[in-house]
Amino acid sequence: MARKKQFKAESKRLLDLMINSIYTHKEIFLRELISNASDAIDKYYYSNAGHVDPSTFEIRIEPNKEARTLTISDTGIGMSKEELEENLGTIAKSGSLAFKEQMENNKEHENDVDIIGQFGVGFYSAFMVAKELCVISKKDGSDEAYKWISDGDSGYTIEPAEKETTGTTIILTLKDDTENDDYSKYLETYTLKDLIKKYSDYIRYPIKMNVETSKIKEETKDSDKPEYETVIEDQTLNSMVPLWKRQKSKITDEEYNQFYKDHFYDYADPKRVIHFSVEGNVSFTALLYIPSHVPQGFYHQDYKKGLQLYCRGVFIMDHAEELLPDYLRFVKGLVDSQDLSLNISREMLQHDHQLKAIASRIEKKILSELTNMLTKERETYEEFWKEFGLNIKFGVYNNYGMDKDKLQDLLLFYSSKDQKLVTLNEYVNRMKEDQKDIYFVSGSDVNLIDKLPIVQTLKKKDYEVLYLTDEVDEFVMQTLMTYREKTFRNAAQGDLDLDSEEEKQELEKAKEDNKELLKFMKESLHDQVAEVKLSNRLIDDPVCLTAGEGLSFEMEKVFANMPK
């Protein structure tokens, strides 16, 4: 009997800590073990400088319900007795990291090395579901195999073992089910298939499993009543190459769209696909989608923004919020980076500099795509605007207006000119020579605004007016204050000073002539109005109400509707 060795003290402490805190989902143990197996195959491949046949590489999953074991084996580099002790007896010692550094000194392989692992806590996650772990390993180039066994608590033993092929086999004896925890599910084919699809689909080596399937008996194939039989089929459960890692020019629209619908649960094709890679201080690939319509539950408080996060093709988490600003919360997609740790947690994301750098590149890219769409595909942009314009407006005044400069040119407003949506730039470009301000008028809908006396007057004098119909519009104007040095001016408020000298004189005269009438009207209306004035503002209507210099009518409405 081999002598039992204790885990190093700090390992034991970390073991407890890790199981209870870093990993919130027990199921990720499988992802960790598969990613280790994949690393081990990488190492085997690179240390043999490619003189091996990659077609023999595989990771195999074998559930055994009777024995209550789940076995994961690989054809990787294997571990010697010392390595078993070093790597599995000491937590937070990342063999992968050391290996990577070693390989980096060897310039020949420079860009080929792509190995997961910065923290070295991955392997221990198996203790979240296993009451005992047995690792049998045979190192590449050695005749001896060793067996490492541990229950996680009381230490581990290492003894010689029998193993024919190079590589590692890990046997998990699953914990007993409890009221809250179902460990037996990790022996079910469909659970395993699901987990592999979810977390490890893009592992570059085949993940294989013998799967029972029902098939038509060969000899009854052509008969009217085909008979079925249960056969065991060796299936590869992962698709191995992630879509986003493939060459852009070789991916069809259909593939992009299908991937979107499968991954982000939409029934409609996206409006835009943005697929790009960045090399540099932080390297990453992003595959982003602008949906063609507002996502389900978008205005519900449970809606989660964010992108999926992958590290070297391994799924880390859904809805990484830090990757998207709030005003782009409708964007779906994923980011894959080799510069992040596989064990990064949500709490760590907030402080991760690399993640911040990625987020800022993503924001820039999306905004430049939208600008492009606006200039080159106006119709498409207007469709986008109808679905998501409100978010962009929100972006202008949210965050103390910090983002207004990068968003103002993406804004569209309905205009009196040709009854179309216009950009602020278009408006200012065709402003009349004598026009100082950008005029806008608010109201609940375009048709009502269009009938307002002041709008009629402005139109008659050939001034363009923006029609603001969203409650947030006036906040947007207040945040922007100016555009290309032109002030935003609510045309329904105060005096626009549009009259010529001649018109002014005429008005003065009319006021004088009707002094008594105006006085009588003011007295009759008492304090329901502040003032009764004659005005050149009116074209067809005999009378109109205007707001003074304070709050506009629309703002008053917004405030009146706010919860008290």
- Indicate the annotated binding residues for ATP: 32, 36, 74, 79, 87, 93-95, 118-123, 168, 346
Q: How many whole angstroms separate alpha carbon 68 and alpha carbon 187?
A: 7
- 156's enclosing H/E stretch is strand 156-161
In what side-by-side order are the strands of the sheet with 228-236?
156-161, 145-150, 130-138, 167-174, 69-74, 59-64, 207-216, 228-236
Among 46, 57, 75, 87, binds ligand ADP (CB under 6 A): 87
Q: Which stretch binds Mg ion (CB under 5 A): 113-121, 209-217, 444-452, 497-505?
A: 113-121
- The residue whose two tokens read 């550094």 is 101
Q: In angstroms, what CA-CA distances link 111 with 36, 105, 107, 114?
A: 20, 12, 9, 8
Q: How far is the CB of 151 from ligand ADP (least distance, A)?
A: 17
In what side-by-side order are the strands of the sheet with 272-278?
272-278, 284-290, 332-337, 307-311, 314-320
Q: How many whole angstroms separate alpha carbon 543 and alpha carbon 448?
A: 16
Q: How far is the CB of 469 from ligand ADP (least distance, A)?
A: 55
Output 145 or 534, the one with its CB closest to ligand ADP: 145
Among 63, 89, 95, 117, binds Mg ion (CB under 5 A): 117
Q: How far is the CB of 30 from ligand ADP (least distance, A)?
A: 12
Q: Does 75 sit near ligand ADP (CB under 6 A)?
A: no
Residue 490: partners with Cβ closer than 8 Å, 6 or more residues away: 440, 441, 442, 474, 477, 547, 552
What backbone phi and psi angles, to 5 degrees, belong to 451? -90, -10
Q: Does 453 sit near Mg ion (CB under 5 A)?
A: no
Q: How many whole angstroms separate alpha carbon 397 and alpha carbon 473?
A: 10
Q: How far is the CB of 337 from ligand ADP (least distance, A)?
A: 16
Q: Which stretch binds Mg ion (CB under 5 A): 111-119, 139-147, 227-235, 431-439?
A: 111-119
Q: How far is the CB of 209 from Mg ion (least distance, A)?
A: 21
Output 341 or 535, the one with its CB closest to Mg ion: 341
Q: Does 493 sit near ligand ADP (CB under 6 A)?
A: no
For the segment 17-56, give every residue that binds ligand ADP (CB under 6 A): 32, 36-37, 39-40
Q: How many whole angstroms separate alpha carbon 337 and alpha carbon 422?
A: 39
For the segment 112-171, give every residue that binds ligand ADP (CB under 6 A): 117, 119-123, 168
SS3 readout for 45-58: HHHCCCCCCHHHCC
Report which residue's Cβ sits closest to ligand ADP. 95
207 within 8 A of 34, measured Cβ to Cβ: yes
Q: How far is the CB of 262 from Mg ion (least distance, A)?
A: 27
Choose the one of Mg ion, ligand ADP, none that binds residue 168, judging by a C-beta under 5 to 8 angstroms depending on kind: ligand ADP
Q: How many whole angstroms separate alpha carbon 221 and alpha carbon 173?
A: 41
Choose the one of Mg ion, ligand ADP, none that binds residue 37, judging by a C-beta under 5 to 8 angstroms depending on kind: ligand ADP
- The residue whose two tokens read 């980011």 is 335
Which of these, 495, 421, 504, 499, lies nearest to 460 by C-alpha position?
A: 499
Q: Does 36 sit near Mg ion (CB under 5 A)?
A: yes
End-to-end CA distance of the chain, in Å?
A: 75
Output 88 or 174, the one with its CB closest to ligand ADP: 88
Number of residues that bind Mg ion (CB under 5 A): 3
Q: How far is the CB of 142 from ligand ADP (least distance, A)?
A: 13
Q: Which stretch binds Mg ion (CB under 5 A): 110-118, 127-135, 176-184, 242-250?
A: 110-118
Q: Which stretch binds ligand ADP (CB under 6 A): 72-80, 145-153, 184-192, 532-540?
A: 72-80
How many residues are there in the chain?
564
Output 40 or 195, the one with its CB closest to ligand ADP: 40
493 bridge partner residues: 547
Residue 79: exposure state from Cβ atoms within 10 A (0-12, 13-18, ≥19):
buried
Number of residues that bind ligand ADP (CB under 6 A): 21
Q: Does 74 sit near ligand ADP (CB under 6 A)?
A: yes
274 within 8 A of 236, measured Cβ to Cβ: no
Q: Does 306 sit near ligand ADP (CB under 6 A)?
A: no
Which of these, 334, 333, 476, lies nearest to 410 by C-alpha position?
A: 476
Q: Which stretch binds Mg ion (CB under 5 A): 30-38, 242-250, 264-272, 294-302?
A: 30-38
Judged by the rule CB under 5 A, the positions of this chain that interact with Mg ion are: 36, 117, 122
Judged by the rule CB under 6 A, the positions of this chain that interact with ligand ADP are: 32, 36-37, 39-40, 74, 76-77, 79, 87-88, 94-96, 117, 119-123, 168
